[in-house]
Amino acid sequence: MSELLAIDNLGKRFGGFIALDGISLAVGTGERVGLIGPNGSGKSTLVNCICGTVRHEAGAVYFDGHPLGSAAAHVRTRLGLARTFQLPRPFVSLTLLDNLRIPLLYTVAARGQGYAASEIEARCLALLREVGLEAKARHRPRDLTQVEMRKLELARAMAAEPKLLIADESMAGLTHSEVEDILMLLRHLNAEGIAIILIEHIMRAVMSFSQRLVVLVSGRKIADGAPEEVMRDPEVEKAYLGQ
Amino acid sequence: MRSDVFFLVCLGIGGAVFAAAVAFGNDYLFFAGYVVAQYVVLATAWNILGGYCGYVNFGSAAFFALGAYTTVAFYSFYPSLPVPALIVVGGLVSGVVGLGMGYLTLRLRGAFFAIATLALAVVLQTLVVNWDYVGGSRGAYIMRPETVAPLGNYVRYLFLAMLLLAVVAITAARLIERSRLGYGFATIRDDELAAEASGVPTLRLKLVATAISGALMGMAGAPFPYYIGYLQPSSTFGLDYAVNAIAMPLIGGTTTWIGPLVGAVLLGSLQQIATVTISSAVNLLIVGFLLVGFVIVAPNGIVGLFRQHVRHEPAGIVGRRRLGADAAGSAP
């Protein structure tokens, strides 16, 4: 498995608060990695640093062999790095179809693999069909339920045709069957060769999905390995799961 | 409808309006019509940045004045430069300043951006007041020709030029709205963080928006010295332009090209009627009352009301960034 994402000794502070403290991490092509940690452990900050939303102060991030340095978020997306947000952030004034049109127009086209104007709508509809939202293609996001909103986020990320998808708490607030729906979608994406970093509090989902588990606590990585092994790690039990 | 067909249709409507004014035979119509058409251009220009991208610009008067003072500057050494050429030059100067303003201020969001644009207007006014070449604080006189062949009165010519400019501005706005650029602008308005995550180069697009918006405002201002005859900083940088440029799209509706057009025609005409029946002093009062009324009753403007009641689309504010929203940038 070749290395897709490499994070080397990443550091980030917010004033006097150390959000990330020397994080090193690697994700291989097509790998499924679970990222867990209690609230405030630095998971979202790590995602924001990887995606270019927040600038890190120390260390380096490499994606697909490119040093990301201070590259803007849209440049990283165009390189193949997609994300979903903890709270869904759809384009509220656009229909679902147009929500998916954006990555096709701005990301896929920028790679020189753009679709012809006539193919774009068909591609958007195919993606909506894949996540079960085709019937609402011409609705606006305000008409969607919570789980549909999560699916729209995933579909929009898929439309960017990424190599790595970071799913930031994509299952928060969902019922058991809705969690299964999202997991199925993620597995389907992974089967197409997309590496996935799953950030989640629902342990059942993380354990069943991840090939590897990384644990953050107070901005530090305290464990990285096979999920069962990590869960048996005394430090993880103490810091995250309780005694 | 294809853009070239749309342009021809607008041109036809503009021609009909001009012909109707000529047929009516009252020269005041040309004076009033010029102001309404000027506001159509200003409102459309404001809407490209404020409505499409959600960045509220309080500095419209500065761009308008920049166009006007570019004309004054050129008039001093090349008085025979025709109005269409002045419109192009004024647009270029204002577009470049818009680009510069965007570069300096677009990392700010919400209320902070709005205040920065207001500051630009103050800085430019101070520069003009202290620049003797364009008349400084005492103002500048422009001698406009009495007549122009074959139209007759020069104000007819100015009205026709402004009508054409309005047609160009509306067509450009509609073209942008339905293009890749328009989709990009809409994502900036809705959620910049998500836009970047979808591959939209938000800063570059915002610079394009400030340049286009600034250029159109400057174009609206370029013929103004010929219209008014005597240009002075206090009126050219006046509150009227800044307030009207914002109020007209808000009243008409900000998410489409037709909103600013409807708002400008409605509000501009009302103000012209009030000017001759009551006093021009009540113009801003009318704007204030209408704006408050629309914010309460129809926050999506007249176009929003139409969509809600005629096309039965659901209510709810669409495509308007709260002034304070995202002010602190992205949270970690």
Instruction: Mark yes or no for CB contact A74/B199 under 8 Å.
Output: yes
pTM for the whole structure: 0.89
Of B190, B196, B316, the CB nearest to A91: B190
The helix-helix angle for B28-50 and B154-177 (nearest 10°) equals: 20
Of A72, A106, A143, the CB nearest to B184: A106
Of B180, B187, B201, the CB nearest to A91: B187
A81-84, strands of its sheet edge to edge? A81-84, A164-168, A195-199, A32-36, A212-217, A220-225
pLDDT computed for residue A241 by the predictor: 59
Rg (CA), chain A: 18
Residue at B102 is within a domain: yes
Touching check for A113 and chain B: CB below 8 Å?
no
End-to-end C-alpha distance for chain A, whole angstroms? 35
> How many angstroms separate the CA atoms of B210 and B196, rounded?
19
Q: What is the ipTM of this complex?
A: 0.91
> How many angstroms separate the CA atoms of B319 and A141, rounded?
13
Residue at B112 is within a domain: yes
pLDDT computed for residue B321 by the predictor: 47
> How many angstroms separate the CA atoms of A39 and A54, rounded?
18
Q: Which domain holds residue B234?
A: 3-309
Touching check for B210 and chain A: CB below 8 Å?
no
pLDDT computed for residue A243 by the predictor: 56
Average pLDDT over residues B237-254: 91
Residue at B319 is within a domain: no
Q: What DSSP designation does B179 have?
A: S
Confidence band for A173, pLDDT divided at 50, 70 and 90? confident
A·B CB contacts under 8 A: 98
Paired with A198 in beta bridges are: A34, A167
Q: What are phi and psi of B168, to 5 degrees?
A: -65, -45
Continuous segment of H or E residues that includes residue B15: helix B3-24
Say if residues B218 and B70 touch (Cβ distance below 8 Å): yes
CB neighbour list of residue A30: distance below 8 Å, 6 or more residues apart: A1, A190, A193, A194, A195
Which residues of A fall within a CB distance of 8 Å from B186? Answer: 91, 93-94, 98
Average pLDDT over residues B210-238: 94
Of A45, A110, A140, the CB nearest to B199: A110
If you average pLDDT over every residue of chain A, what do you get? 91
User: How many domains does one find in chain B?
Assistant: 1
CA distance B203 to chain A (A): 10
Residue at B326 is within a domain: no
pLDDT computed for residue B86 by the predictor: 94
Confidence band for B316, pLDDT divided at 50, 70 and 90? low
Nearest chain A residue to B205 by CA distance is: A106
According to DSSP, the β-strands at B140-141 and A195-199 are unpaired
Residue at B317 is within a domain: no
Which residues of B fall within a CB distance of 8 Å from A110? Answer: 199
> In this structure, what token pair is assigned to residue B166?
């309005």
Which residues of A fall within a CB distance of 8 Å from B184? Answer: 102, 105-106
Touching check for B206 and chain A: CB below 8 Å?
no
Q: How far is CA B301 from CA B187, B310, B312, in A?
A: 20, 14, 15
Average pLDDT over residues B224-247: 91
Residue at B209 is within a domain: yes
pLDDT at A187 over 50: yes
Q: What DSSP designation does A82 have?
A: E
Nearest chain B residue to A47 by CA distance is: B332
Residue at B329 is within a domain: no
pLDDT at B322 over 80: no
A166, A104, B260, B286: CA torsion to nearest 10: -10
Residue at B324 is within a domain: no
Hey, CA dihedral for A103, A107, A109, A114, is it positive or negative? Answer: negative
pLDDT in tens, A39-60: 888 999 999 999 999 999 999 9
If you average pLDDT over every residue of chain B, what do you get? 88
Average pLDDT over residues B63-84: 91
According to DSSP, the β-strands at A66-67 and A58-63 are antiparallel
Confidence band for A240, pLDDT divided at 50, 70 and 90? low
Instruction: Mark yes or no for CB contact B183/A77 under 8 Å.
Output: no
Q: Which of B188, B198, B318 to mutate to test the interface with A (most CBs of A within 10 A)?
A: B198
pLDDT in tens, B108-121: 888 888 899 999 89
CATH classification of the domain holding B121: 1.10.3470
Going along chain A from its start, the domains and CATH numbers come out as 3-91+162-241 (3.40.50.300)
Which residues of B fall within a CB distance of 8 Å from A45? Answer: 332
Instruction: Mark yes or no for CB contact B198/A77 under 8 Å.
Output: yes
Nearest chain A residue to B255 by CA distance is: A93
Q: Which of A85, A89, A91, A144 to mutate to test the interface with B (most CBs of B within 10 A)?
A: A91
Average pLDDT over residues B195-201: 95
